[in-house]
A and B are shown apart, each in its own frame.
Chain A
Amino acid sequence: MQQNFSGVGVSPGRIIGSIRQMPKPVSEPPAGERLSPSLSADAATALLRSSAKAVQLELQNRAAGATGASKAVLEATALMATDPMLIKAAIKHINTGTSAERAIWESGASVAEMLINLGGYMADRATDVFDVRARIVAELRGVPAPGIPLSDEPFILVAEDLAPADTATLDPEKILALVTSGGGPQSHTAIIARALGLPAIVAAPGVDALEDGTEVFVDGAAGTLSLEPGAEEIAAVEAWKTAAAILAVFDGNGRTADGHLVPLLANVGGAKDAVKAAEAGAQGVGLLRTEFCFLERETEPTIEEQVVAYRGVFDAFPGQKVVVRTLDAGADKPLPFLTDTSEPNPSLGVRGYRTDLTTPGVLARQLTAIAQAAEGSAALVWVMAPMIATPEEAAEFAAMCATAGLKIPGVMVEVPSAALLADRILGEVDFVSLGTNDLTQYTMAADRQLGTLAALNSPWQPAVLKLIGLTVEGSIAEGNNKPVGVCGEAAADPVLAVVLVGLGVATLSMTSRSLSAVGAVLKSVTLDDAKKLAALAVSAPNPTEARKRVRAGLPILEELGL
Chain B
Amino acid sequence: MSERTATIASRVGLHARPASIFAAAVGELPIEVTIAMEGEPAEDAMDASSILSLMSLGAANGDVVVLRAEGDGADEALEALVKILETDLDAE
* Interface residues in chain A, defined as those with a beta carbon under 8 Å from any beta carbon in chain B: 72, 75-76, 79-80, 83-86, 111, 114-115, 118, 121-122, 125, 129
Chain A nearest CB from B72 CB (Å) reads 21
In the complex, 5 of the A-B residue pairs with CB atoms within 8 angstroms, ordered by the A residue number, are A75-B17, A75-B20, A76-B16, A84-B47, A114-B56
Chain A nearest CB from B24 CB (Å) reads 6
Interface flags for B50-67 (1: CB within 8 Å of A; 0: not) read 111101101000000000
In the complex where A79-B23, A79-B51, A84-B47 touch, is A118 in contact with B56 (Cβ < 8 A)?
Answer: yes
Instruction: Indicate if the CB atoms of A121 and B15 lie closer than 8 Å.
Output: yes
A416 to B23, CA, bound (A): 72
B10 at interface (Cβ–Cβ under 8 A)? no
Chain B CB within 10 A, most for which of A72, A80, A84, A114 = A84
B7 at interface (Cβ–Cβ under 8 A)? no
Smallest CB-CB separation from B15: which chain A residue?
A: A121
Residues of A within 8 A of B15 (CB): 121-122
Chain B nearest CB from A133 CB (Å) reads 12
Residues of B within 8 A of A85 (CB): 47, 50, 52-53
Chain A CB within 10 A, most for which of B17, B20, B23, B52 = B52
Chain A CB within 10 A, most for which of B16, B23, B55 = B55
Instruction: Indicate if the CB atoms of B51 and A83 lie closer than 8 Å.
Output: yes
Residues of A within 8 A of B58 (CB): 118, 122
A122 to B52, CA, bound (A): 9
Instruction: Indicate if the CB atoms of B20 and A72 lie closer than 8 Å.
Output: yes
When A and B form their complex, which 4 residue pairs have the shortest distance between CB atoms, in order from nearest? Answer: A85-B52, A79-B51, A84-B50, A76-B20
Smallest CB-CB separation from A117: which chain B residue?
A: B56
Partner of B52, one of A72, A75, A111, A121: A111
In the complex where A118-B58, A122-B56, A125-B55 touch, is A83 in contact with B50 (Cβ < 8 A)?
Answer: yes
Interface of A is mostly: helix
Smallest CB-CB separation from B17: which chain A residue?
A: A72
Residues of A within 8 A of B56 (CB): 114-115, 118, 122
A125 to B15, CA, bound (A): 10
Partner of A80, one of B16, B17, B27, B52: B52
Chain B nearest CB from A348 CB (Å) reads 58
Smallest CB-CB separation from A63: which chain B residue?
A: B20
A79 to B48, CA, bound (A): 12
In the complex where A79-B23, A84-B47, A85-B47 touch, is A121 in contact with B53 (Cβ < 8 A)?
Answer: no
Chain A nearest CB from B57 CB (Å) reads 10
Chain A nearest CB from B23 CB (Å) reads 5
Instruction: Indicate if the CB atoms of B50 and A121 lie closer than 8 Å.
Output: no
Instruction: Indicate if the CB atoms of A76 and B19 lie closer than 8 Å.
Output: yes
Known: A79-B24, A79-B51, A80-B52. 5 other contacts (CB 8 A): A75-B20, A83-B51, A111-B52, A114-B52, A115-B55
A377 to B55, CA, bound (A): 55
Smallest CB-CB separation from A74: which chain B residue?
A: B20
In the complex where A79-B23, A114-B56 touch, is A121 in contact with B51 (Cβ < 8 A)?
Answer: no
Chain B nearest CB from A125 CB (Å) reads 7
A111 to B17, CA, bound (A): 19
Residues of B within 8 A of A125 (CB): 55
A129 to B19, CA, bound (A): 15
A495 to B62, CA, bound (A): 65
A86 to B52, CA, bound (A): 8
Instruction: Indicate if the CB atoms of A121 and B16 lie closer than 8 Å.
Output: yes
Complex interface residues of chain B between 38 and 55 (CB less than 8 A to chain A): 47, 49-53, 55
A21 to B84, CA, bound (A): 43
Smallest CB-CB separation from A73: which chain B residue?
A: B16
A122 to B60, CA, bound (A): 13
Residues of B within 8 A of A80 (CB): 51-52
Residues of A within 8 A of B24 (CB): 79
Chain A nearest CB from B20 CB (Å) reads 5
Instruction: Indicate if the CB atoms of B53 and A84 lie closer than 8 Å.
Output: yes
A209 to B72, CA, bound (A): 58
Partner of A122, one of B20, B27, B50, B55: B55
